[in-house]
Structure 1
Amino acid sequence: MKLQIAIDRVPLTKARALMKQLAPFADILEAGTSLIKDYGVTALGDLKEAVSDTQLLGDIKTIDEGAYEFRQGYRHGADLLTVMGASSVETIRKCYEVAEEYGKEMMIDLLECTPKKVEEIIQFPNAIYCLHTSVDQGATADPNGDVLTFKKAFPSVKRIAIAGGINLTTAAALSASAPEIVIVGSGITKAEDPIQVAKQFRKVMEEQCKFSM
């Protein structure tokens, strides 16, 4: 399992500092949606420069103009970008084509997607499908169960991420479902000591990876 740390709702200078501090413990660092809305997609270049050896995800949540937005995101330094599963299939296809062209990665955010909608958009083999409970809705009660249920319903999907209020306890329970990516935001960045908590998440996830092998 990979650990993705999401940084959001802070000044750009603090985001950059946090990324530099947390990079040793993260597989992926995320520039969150609100951060990009505050400072624009061009801020991805500044953030990538700070953490050049770590993958950077820009959570741009594209829902239209897929090719344009994805080209801009990759040109400005993102290694991964997000498109909403609620988008048209054609928008997702255009995003996927640009990702493949650039040799980069695409994450499909399944926020509020019905099973019927998911069925329409599972034809992108290199895409990462993110099960996502919104900030407004609160933490997912059973992330491990959510992933297992999704895998059973959509066995052809091989790359899965999980996000939404993940804590140390729920992260430790993910060995049974083993998603590719576990996304943690304020559980790390809002902690009194973000570095120490990031170390704890890294330790828990490494232990669970050994257990699941």
Structure 2
Amino acid sequence: MKLQVALDLTEPSVAVDIARRLCSAGAVDIVEAGTPLIKAAGIFIVSALKVACPNVEIMADLKTMDVGALEARLAINAGANIISVLGAAANETISEFINEARRLGGKPLIDMISVKDPAARIKELLSAGLRPDYVGLHLGIDVQRSRGLTVEDLISEAVNIKNNYGLAVAIAGGINEEVAPKIRGTNIDVVVVGRAITQSTDPVAAAKNIRRLLGID
């Protein structure tokens, strides 16, 4: 299991500073350039994070919906190791994205945010020969509020998908110190934490505590 920090911030200097502190302390395994951060700062924020954290993987949360090869190429050339395409995108876009990511040595992640039946969509993609390195199960804030879905639902879905399809899974959405112990002992590959780390008065201490609660350290 790996801990990924989601830098869903809009101020590049703040994001880079938090990333540098977390990486220097060995508190995270993956640093994510969140979608708001990429939109605010441009794709070159990925390069800045790679310089700040040369020894961890950088994830670019592109949430690509079209021009799959182009967006994959932009992010990987900027230094990203893991990149995301939406499961709601057309199969053609996902295919272009995966192929270009693999050609350049990157790891594609299919993000199932807004997909009503992630398991059915995964089965469809695999049948089409589209196999990502990761499936991202993302419980968006708006969905949490409107549909009453819980993080526990997300954990159960992730474990089932990993067991049934043999795919590495990453989960995100509302994970904090209270939720982390519920994930401990599962075979989930990546746990993505945002605000519980980035909005903490001491991000390093918060990340280390979540690692401990997850059973990583």
Per the normalisation by structure 1, the TM-score is 0.89
Contact 2:69–2:101 (CA<8 Å) still a contact in 1? no
1:119 and 2:123 matched:
yes
- Which amino acid in the other structure matches residue 34 of structure 1? P
Q: Hey, what's the Cα distance between the residues in 1 that align with 2:142 and 2:199? A: 17
1:40 aligns with: 42
2:111 aligns with: 109
1:131 and 2:140 matched:
no
Give the match's secondary structure for 2:96: helix
Q: Hey, what's the Cα distance between the residues in 1 that align with 2:192 and 2:10? A: 18
2:3 aligns with: 3
Unaligned 5+ residue runs, structure 2? Answer: none
Q: Hey, what's the Cα distance between the residues in 1 that align with 2:102 and 2:61? A: 18
Give the match's secondary structure for 2:178: helix
Correspondence for 2:150 among 119, 123, 140: 140
How far off its partner does 1:126 sit?
4.5
Contact 1:168–1:201 (CA<8 Å) still a contact in 2? yes
How far off its partner does 1:205 sit?
2.1
How far off its partner does 1:68 sit?
0.5
Unaligned 5+ residue runs, structure 1? Answer: none
Root-mean-square deviation over aligned CA pairs:
1.8
Q: Hey, what's the Cα distance between the residues in 2 that align with 1:15 and 1:99? A: 25
1:194 and 2:203 matched:
yes
Q: Hey, what's the Cα distance between the residues in 1 that align with 2:191 and 2:150? A: 13
Q: Please, which moves more after superposition, 134-143 or 56-65?
A: 134-143
After TM superposition, the structure 1 = structure 2 runs for residues 6-21 of structure 1, keeping only pairs within 5 Å, are 6-21=6-21
Correspondence for 1:28 among 30, 36, 44: 30
How far off its partner does 1:38 sit?
0.5
Q: Hey, what's the Cα distance between the residues in 2 that align with 1:133 and 1:89? A: 22
Contact 1:147–1:162 (CA<8 Å) still a contact in 2? yes
How far off its partner does 1:31 sit?
0.6
How far off its partner does 1:176 sit?
4.6
2:215 aligns with: 206
Give the match's secondary structure for 2:143: coil
Q: Hey, what's the Cα distance between the residues in 2 that align with 1:91 and 1:41? A: 20
> Could you say if the C-alpha distance between residues 3 and 118 of structure 1 is closer, same or farther in structure 2, counting changes exceeding 3 Å?
same
Q: Hey, what's the Cα distance between the residues in 2 that align with 1:161 and 1:16? A: 23
Per-residue CA deviation, residues 44-82 of structure 1 (Å, 9 max, x unaligned), is: 112211111111111111010000010011111111111
Q: Hey, what's the Cα distance between the residues in 2 that align with 1:77 and 1:157? A: 28
Give the match's secondary structure for 1:10: coil
Q: Hey, what's the Cα distance between the residues in 2 that align with 1:141 and 1:43? A: 29
Name the % identity: 32
How far off its partner does 1:196 sit?
0.7
Q: Hey, what's the Cα distance between the residues in 2 that align with 1:167 and 1:43? A: 25
Correspondence for 2:191 among 178, 182, 196: 182
- The runs of at least 4 aligned residues of structure 1 exceeding 6 Å deviation read none
Q: Hey, what's the Cα distance between the residues in 1 that align with 2:183 and 2:151? A: 12
